[in-house]
Amino acid sequence: DADVTQTPRNRITKTGKRIMLECSQTKGHDRMYWYRQDPGLGLRLIYYSFDVKDINKGEISDGYSVSRQAQAKFSLSLESAIPNQTALYFCATSDWGTDQPQHFGDGTRLSIL
């Protein structure tokens, strides 16, 4: 979905480095989400945010932090990267209300050596 942009698309880094993944959206949605995808495990929720002042932990938040800088921007940080955080990371947005679909960016492929 071109309305949800993730940068970078690919990143290779070393253990112990601090990494920030960025997400911006032009859909005007208040709700934003970060997921990680591992082979055979589907998507798992890391953090989600319903507005600029709202941050919530998801299923697997340990080792990650987020910042909601504006309605349109939601970044994910790995303070000290470790190899088992190697994965595909997705940002998504959704509108308010029930029965809302989520709209995904094209992902960031992160490799930690």
Partner 1 sequence: SQQGEEDPQALSIQEGENATMNCSYKTSINNLQWYRQNSGRGLVHLILIRSNEREKHSGRLRVTLDTSKKSSSLLITASRAADTASYFCATDHGGATNKLIFGTGTLLAVQP
Which residue ranges make up the site for partner 1 (CB under 8 A)? Answer: 1, 4, 31, 33, 35, 40-45, 48, 50, 56, 58-59, 90, 92, 94, 98-107
Which residue, 15 or 63, is less far from partner 1 as judged by CB? Answer: 63
Per-residue DSSP letters for 94-113? E-SSSS---EE---EEEEE-
* Number of neighbouring beta carbons within 10 Å of residue 85: 18
Q: Measured from the CB of residue 80, what is the shortest distance to partner 1 in angstroms?
A: 26
Smallest separation, CB 26 to partner 1 (Å): 15
